[in-house]
Chain A
């Protein structure tokens, strides 16, 4: 079955810099890749997604890139702010069940 690997377990950046989190997946049939944010002591909430029919999507300071050939996708957070500090999870979906396979999460720390 699908496996999703999240490459950075922790990431520290200075406020205002960009942060990049990389994920890879194994199933070439995967077609949907969402990202979730988990702030300290809270549950996960959806931040952005990308589908396999495009290779780039942007929502304000968040950019997701998808490279289907390399089976890789990445989240770019530009002009980081302290409130971006959280754990970010990437996920992939394959088949028609709707279930997501999650990466292990990346703890992002934005230092003032």
Chain B
């Protein structure tokens, strides 16, 4: 079986700092996603990528950049962390348009 790994598990940053979250999968899935989970707001799509070097904006892309340099990895950058920001960032992958997602365990972000 495969695995999808997110690093780091916890991330504490300072206001204005640029922060990078990483995600790796060994399922050989084509499509990868970054979602943000806030309490009471469900999951909101930040960026997704349907193949290597492809990037598509989600509903919440402002304030973020993403990079898919290899099929197996998808990274997300918070360009300028906002003070008191607290959220969980979830990475997911899928093999195609008719497949479910496999989620990583998440990165918990706290900005002080």
- A interface with B by C-beta (< 8 Å): 6, 32, 34, 36, 42-46, 49, 51, 89, 93, 95-105
Total contacts A-B at CB 8 Å: 54
**Centre residue among B31, B58, B100 by max chain A CB count within 10 A:** B100
The segment out of B12-20, B68-76, B102-110 that lies at the interface is B102-110
Q: Determine how close the nearest CB of chain B comes to the CB of A103; give it in whole angstroms.
A: 6
**How long is the Cα–Cα vector from A75 to B101 in the complex, in angstroms?**
18
Cβ A44 vs Cβ B103 within 8 A: yes
Q: Contacts A43-B106, A44-B90, A93-B97; is A104 near B42 (CB within 8 Å)?
A: yes
Cβ B105 vs Cβ A42 within 8 A: yes
Q: Contacts A49-B100, A97-B97; is A102 near B105 (CB within 8 Å)?
A: no
**How long is the Cα–Cα vector from A48 to B20 in the complex, in angstroms?**
32
Q: Contacts A34-B100, A46-B100; is A98 near B50 (CB within 8 Å)?
A: yes
Q: Contacts A97-B50, A98-B31, A99-B48; is A89 near B42 (CB within 8 Å)?
A: yes
**Main SS class of interface, A:** strand
**How long is the Cα–Cα vector from A105 to B35 in the complex, in angstroms?**
14
Residues from 77 to 96 in B contacting A, C-beta threshold 8 Å: 90, 94, 96
Cβ B40 vs Cβ A43 within 8 A: no
Q: Determine how close the nearest CB of chain B comes to the CB of A59; give it in whole angstroms.
A: 13
Is B53 an interface position by the 8 A CB rule?
Answer: no
- Minimal Cβ-Cβ distance residue in A for B44: A102
Cβ A32 vs Cβ B56 within 8 A: no
Q: Which of A36, A96, A101, A102 contacts B97 (CB 8 A)?
A: A96
Is B43 an interface position by the 8 A CB rule?
Answer: yes
Given contacts A44-B101, A104-B42, 17 further A-B contacts (CB under 8 A): A34-B101, A44-B103, A45-B103, A46-B101, A46-B102, A95-B97, A96-B97, A97-B48, A97-B56, A97-B97, A98-B48, A98-B50, A98-B96, A99-B58, A100-B101, A101-B45, A104-B40
